[in-house]
A = this chain, B = another copy of it.
């Protein structure tokens, strides 16, 4: 049974996306232009993302804090590149408590400035370092075109801000946190992602360099999935964050920041979902198993309870749909909401000593004999299989949409047919990046290798310095 509320993914991808967001009750538009309401089903995914990442951050020694929402204009202005990068897209508070303010306050688009200001007055000695802080919060960027989760004026994220006594340590941190995102995207979200370096043009405003994790959506459009920035001493000089080092000399701290956002909910949808609604990898699904008893007798329901308790006790999140809806309606609802596994316990099935188990990702239905059935083991293995299969399927799709270009004509031919990830060498000249952008807005996603390149620039034909992946982005 096709879901009539959802446009086919192959007919109109953009429409399909918003249809899935609405049908699965993940988010909706609000009276506030460009800002969404994240509904219970969507927020539960974010809570699960927070739980998994937060645990990992803490294992690595990070602690959570909360800096203010507002940034005084003077403070924002201290680092020139940052303000140039963000000024066009901030919102300003100019009135408070019925009075016009003496100084405008912007709503944080990111919090480097506030962290620097804090660090500046709290760091004295190398013994205070490193400071490994993170915060979960909302930020605001005045985007012109918005799309639920992928790009909205307000979004939720985590921003890690760390300071270190040495360049080596800060570089290590930048790399380590990128590895965390890579692990999170690949292992938890089942989204194959590529780690690389942003070009000068695409790096974070004010960073010395930016590492990025790039993912490819089902339609061949790329998504920046998480970034980790190395600032060196740029901000610490601008904000005067100094410490006394082991040689008893004053030195500016070495700094990093790194973040990922609610946009990854959009990424999950665009990589895995289908015309029947949401499909969630088991490791990020807030609810992993739905049990649907069918028939009036006591047996299906009591068995449902038995299974639910067994599964929950073993760390699998299972629930029973006991509502008065018809079984068909319940199936469709579990499907549109992306519950990875559905267990149907029907009276007739029980007469034949069997139950039906369906997996959401392939929509396959299996008759499972109750003889010697270890339900916990069966479901655990099935969830693991689904997780792996989803990753493999996403990787296959990505590989199919990964191309190689040797000149501008190649680039044009590829992009005119189908967006995707395009491997193409680059001389390092920003003018070439600009020229390539003329082809449907194609940008450098990341530089993937830094060893010597023995090839020509895909744009100008001169000797290439970098192996770059290009693509059209969200």
List residues of chain A with CB under 8 Å of any chain B CB.
28, 30-32, 35-40, 43-44, 46-47, 63-72, 75, 87-98, 104-105, 107, 114, 117-118, 121-122, 133, 137-138, 140, 142, 144, 153-154, 156
Contact = CB atoms under 8 A, between A and B. Distances in A.
A66 B43 CA distance: 7
B92 A31 contact: no
B68 A39 contact: no
Which of A65, A104, A156 has the most B CB atoms < 10 Å from its CB?
A65
A290 to B, nearest CB: 16
Contacts of A28: 118, 121-122
A107 B105 CA distance: 12
Given A37-B118, A64-B40, A68-B36, A107 B133 contact: no
A88 B93 contact: no
A69 B114 contact: no
19 contacts: A28-B121, A31-B72, A31-B75, A31-B117, A35-B69, A36-B68, A37-B66, A37-B114, A37-B118, A40-B63, A40-B64, A40-B65, A43-B65, A44-B63, A70-B91, A91-B97, A92-B94, A92-B95, A96-B142
Given A37-B65, A43-B63, A69-B154, 11 more contacts: A30-B68, A31-B114, A35-B68, A40-B65, A43-B64, A68-B154, A70-B91, A87-B98, A95-B104, A97-B142, A137-B138
A165 to B, nearest CB: 16
Contact of A32 (B64, B72, B154): B72
B114 A30 contact: yes
A70 B154 contact: yes
A28 B117 CA distance: 12
A40 B118 CA distance: 13
Given A30-B118, A118-B37, A91 B98 contact: no
Contacts of A32: 68, 70-72, 105, 114
Nearest to A41: B63
A47 B35 contact: no
B87 A91 contact: no
Which of A30, A89, A117, A133 has the most B CB atoms < 10 Å from its CB?
A30
A24 to B, nearest CB: 14
A188 to B, nearest CB: 20
Contacts of A69: 35, 69, 107, 138, 140, 154
A132 to B, nearest CB: 10
A50 to B, nearest CB: 11
A66 B45 CA distance: 12
A40 B94 contact: no
Contacts of A88: 97-98
Contacts of A46: 66
Nearest to A325: B127
Nearest to A74: B31
A98 B104 CA distance: 13
A93 B104 CA distance: 10
A95 B91 contact: yes
A193 to B, nearest CB: 25
A66 B38 contact: yes
Contact of A133 (B40, B87, B105, B121): B40
A84 to B, nearest CB: 12
Nearest to A121: B28
Nearest to A143: B97
Contacts of A71: 32
Nearest to A323: B127
Contacts of A72: 31-32
A89 B93 contact: no
Contacts of A66: 37-38, 43, 46, 156
